[in-house]
Amino acid sequence: MGKPTDAELAIALEEAKRLRESGKDESFLGKVVLNQNHRLKLLEELYRATATFLHGESAQQHAKLVKAVEAYRQYDERPG
């Protein structure tokens, strides 16, 4: 499966928002797409913080890594 282009992603996210706002998201497709996009952004930030920390290991990089882990933990523990 190929990675969607930025334009394709923008269109898909707009459609997901439209589904959620219309109240006609019976299959929860809009909810899942929006949720997974948000989760992906958190995980990408966690990846960047981890990669930066592993290459430098400074106190500032460690703090960013801890912050990214905590942000994902809080998100992951939120009820549906």
Is residue 67 a part of any domain in this protein?
Answer: yes
Query: What pLDDT is recorded for position 5?
Result: 94
Is residue 42 a part of any domain in this protein?
Answer: yes
Domain total for the chain?
1
Query: What pLDDT is recorded for position 43?
Result: 94
Low-confidence ranges of the chain (pLDDT < 70): 80
Is residue 38 a part of any domain in this protein?
Answer: yes
Query: What pLDDT is recorded for position 2?
Result: 87
- Residue 40, number of CB atoms within 10 A of its CB: 10
Is residue 54 a part of any domain in this protein?
Answer: yes
Query: What pLDDT is recorded for position 64?
Result: 84
Longest dimension (CA), the chain: 49
Q: Which pTM does this prediction carry?
A: 0.75
| Domain extent at residue 24 | 6-77
Query: What pLDDT is recorded for position 57?
Result: 73
Is residue 52 a part of any domain in this protein?
Answer: yes
Is residue 1 a part of any domain in this protein?
Answer: no
Query: What pLDDT is recorded for position 32?
Result: 96
Q: Which helix (H) or strand (E) holds 37?
A: helix 29-56
